[in-house]
């Protein structure tokens, strides 16, 4: 953290907002630098129990964090001082939390079975949309709706990017055992035509249904892919009227959808009170409903609602999203950690880190507070990860011996019965547990030397090599485990990370719900594209101009 105790040197600079808590936490962090997590585990018999909490099918064990009871208390005091308890209410009652865009933030309403009566209009709109979504799923699964050659639909392709892609794609992949066999669901995001051609490879235009999924319907990539998909359909011999049979759309921008030739009944709404990265619970998740069926989609929502209820009502010290967030604050602001890894030990969750990247980094990758003052303290860390055990054979080296502090969430599924290869699942779980343990205990110089002697090396060679084998250990991790990966537990997991993101953004006093940072690149992209076509001159930096020159003249 920057100088947490001093106030900003300029009026437009914001120091860490809770000076007293920060002072206490800085002092505690200094004491922790000499602490071993193993001693913390040994010194308090009930530590595992005390540093665990459970909700909505998920068990969080954060006893292997570099965090004493006193530090946890100080973090909870900071959360209370920040007004987190009343802020979380704002998430459920429609306050305009996204003040830079003048919008409420109501993604929780998308999965709520009851809500504030003041939100009746929104509830009615969600209910109507959900019904229309379900009708379409039924029509496609039953073969009632047919393509232009009167064949049933066999493949659904979601055309969208960012929040209109990552969430649905990740959920569809994560819930493979739950797929309905009537259709296959595919995703295409990149404006690179290779993405669309790879997606369409082997698909039959006569039996393919596209969903143009874009909150704004202004997104270059999605609009371009939608046009290409349309051309692909027409090139196969379909007439213009086939658009109505082969294209659906989800958007707040109904006019553009209509202009594309999509009839009203094929367009489902989005609302400006749902952020793109929080939207998989809305019609943006249509592809999920096609892949799983409406019943399983509703299970996903039900799991998320369970986590919402937990977040809203559990005391802070037993609150899973709050605990994850406070750990983030602890490492980012008091240990200068700049990254965080999420490693799911489940192949079907391989895309979870990508989804969480947008959720966390687009929400909390911010540098000014609500008043527009520049922050003197750090916000969202770089979030990354991949499925275990694959990462063990590549980047885990850095976890064990690298110079970077990277706290890790290990996601474990303990009783997965959905696969026949039980041994493989047990091996996977053993790998996850062993990684967390190796990070904790490490291996000292003497143990390293002994292991080399046991391998038959002579004394001198063993002494020379031993430092290379030393693993310092004391690297923090949490495990987040459930018994089965189901639509319900997945829904709860995603809501957990959504709320964690909210808590951290609240404590950092930033707007987690806008994304102005991505706009400049989009505008410059349009300028450069116009220059590439020779339609505009453009006033570019020397490097961009040189590359454009090469493109023009070889």
Binding residues for ligand F6P, per CB under 6 A? 161-164, 214-216, 219, 222, 276-277, 362, 515, 518
Report yes or no: 166 and 355 within 8 Å, Cβ to Cβ: yes
Q: Which is nearer to ligand F6P, 212 or 428 (CB)?
A: 212
* 50 versus 216: smaller Cβ distance to ligand F6P: 216
CB of 316 to ligand F6P, least distance (A): 30
The tokens for 462 are 């063993």
Q: Specify the 3-state DSSP secondary structure of 56.
A: coil
CA angle 350, 362, 516 (to 5 degrees): 150
Contact 279, 165 (CB under 8 A): no
CA distance 429 to 301: 27
- Work out how close the CB of 28 gets to ligand F6P at its nearest, in angstroms, rounded to a whole number: 37
Q: What number of helices (H) and strands (E) belong to the chain?
A: 23, 13
Question: Minimum distance from CB of 274 to ligand F6P (Å)?
Answer: 10
Q: How far is the CB of 218 from ligand F6P (least distance, A)?
A: 6
| Residues near 129 by beta carbon (within 8 Å), at least 6 away in sequence | 268, 269, 282, 283
CB atoms within 10 A of CB 85: 14
CB 287 within 8 A of CB 168: yes
Nearer to ligand F6P, 266 or 515 (CB): 515
By beta-carbon proximity to ligand F6P, the closer residue of 166 and 507 is 166
Choose between 164 and 477: whose C-beta lies nearer to ligand F6P. 164
Provide the minimum distance between the beta carbon of 512 and ligand F6P in the complex, in angstroms, as a whole number: 12
Q: 67: which residues sit within 8 A by CB, 6+ positions away?
A: 32, 40, 51, 75, 327, 330, 476
What minimum distance in Å lies between the beta carbon of 519 and ligand F6P? 8
Q: How far is the CB of 195 from ligand F6P (least distance, A)?
A: 15
Secondary structure in 3-state letters for 510-521: CCCCCCHHHHHH
Is 485 within 8 Å of 387 (Cβ atoms)? Answer: no
CA atoms within 13 A on the CB side of 238: 25
CB 375 within 8 A of CB 417: no
- Residue (299 or 514) nearer to ligand F6P, CB: 514
Report in angstroms how near the CB of residue 215 gets to ligand F6P at its nearest.
4
Q: Would you please indicate which residues are annotated as catalytic (active-site) residues?
A: 362, 393, 522
Question: Do the Cβ atoms of 76 and 317 come closer than 8 Å?
Answer: yes
Four-residue CA torsion sign, 193, 149, 267, 248: negative
CB 278 within 8 A of CB 107: yes
On whether the CB atoms of residues 278 and 163 are closer than 8 A, the answer is: yes
Is the CB of 160 or the CB of 344 nearer to ligand F6P? 160
d(CA 37, CA 51): 13
Judged by beta carbon, residue 158 or residue 515, the one nearer ligand F6P is 515
| Alpha-carbon gap, residue 338 to 378, rounded angstroms | 8
d(CA 312, CA 309) in angstroms, rounded, equals 5
């Amino acid at each position: 953290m920057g100088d947490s105790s001093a106030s900003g040197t300029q009026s437009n600079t914001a120091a860490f907002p809770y000076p007293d808590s920060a002072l206490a936490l800085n002092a505690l962090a200094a004491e922790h630098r000499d602490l071993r997590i193993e001693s913390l585990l040994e010194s308090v018999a009930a530590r595992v129990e005390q540093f665990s909490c459970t909700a909505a099918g998920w068990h969080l064990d954060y006893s292997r964090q570099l965090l004493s009871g006193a530090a946890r208390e100080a973090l909870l005091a900071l959360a209370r001082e920040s007004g987190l308890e009343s802020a979380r209410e704002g998430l459920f009652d429609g306050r305009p939390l996204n003040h830079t865009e003048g919008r409420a933030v109501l993604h929780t309403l998308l999965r709520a079975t009851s809500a504030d009566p003041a939100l009746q209009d929104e509830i009615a709109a969600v209910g109507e949309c959900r019904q229309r979504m379900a009708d379409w799923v039924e029509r496609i699964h039953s073969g009632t709706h047919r393509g232009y050659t009167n064949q049933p639909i066999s493949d659904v392709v979601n055309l969208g990017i960012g929040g209109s892609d990552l969430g649905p794609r990740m959920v569809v992949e994560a819930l493979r055992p739950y797929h309905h066999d009537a259709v296959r669901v595919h995703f295409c995001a990149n404006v690179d035509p290779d993405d669309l051609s790879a997606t369409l490879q082997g698909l039959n235009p006569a039996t393919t249904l596209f969903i143009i999924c874009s909150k704004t319907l202004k997104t270059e990539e999605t609009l371009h892919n939608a046009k290409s998909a349309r051309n692909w359909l027409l090139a196969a011999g379909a007439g213009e009227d086939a658009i109505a049979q082969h294209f659906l759309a989800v958007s707040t921008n109904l006019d553009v959808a209509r202009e594309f030739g999509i009839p009203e009944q094929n367009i489902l709404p989005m609302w400006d009170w749902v952020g793109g990265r929080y939207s998989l619970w809305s019609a943006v998740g249509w592809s999920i409903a096609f892949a799983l069926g409406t019943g399983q989609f509703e299970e996903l929502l039900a799991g998320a609602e369970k986590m919402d209820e937990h977040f809203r009502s559990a005391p802070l010290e037993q609150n899973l999203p709050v605990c994850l967030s406070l750990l983030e604050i602890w490492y980012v602001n008091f240990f200068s950690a700049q990254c965080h890894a999420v490693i799911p030990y489940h192949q079907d969750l391989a895309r979870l880190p990508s989804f969480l990247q947008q959720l966390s980094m687009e929400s909390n990758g911010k540098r000014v507070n609500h008043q527009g003052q520049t922050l003197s303290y750090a916000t969202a860390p770089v979030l990354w990860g991949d499925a275990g055990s694959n990462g063990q054979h590549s980047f885990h080296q850095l976890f064990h011996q690298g110079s970077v502090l990277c706290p890790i969430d290990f996601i474990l599924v303990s009783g997965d019965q959905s696969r026949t290869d039980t041994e493989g699942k047990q091996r996977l779980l053993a790998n996850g547990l062993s990684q967390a343990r190796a990070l904790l205990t490490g291996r000292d110089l003497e143990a390293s030397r002994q292991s080399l002697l046991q391998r038959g090396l002579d004394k001198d060679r063993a002494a020379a090599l031993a430092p290379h084998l030393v693993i310092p250990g004391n690297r923090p991790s949490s495990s987040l485990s459930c018994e089965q990966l189901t639509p319900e537990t997945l829904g709860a997991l995603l809501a957990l990370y959504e709320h964690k993101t909210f808590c951290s953004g609240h404590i950092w006093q930033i707007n987690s719900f806008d994304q102005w940072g991505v706009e400049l690149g989009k505008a410059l992209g349009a300028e450069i594209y116009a220059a590439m076509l020779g339609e505009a001159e453009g006033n570019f930096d020397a490097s961009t101009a040189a590359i454009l020159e090469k493109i023009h003249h070889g």
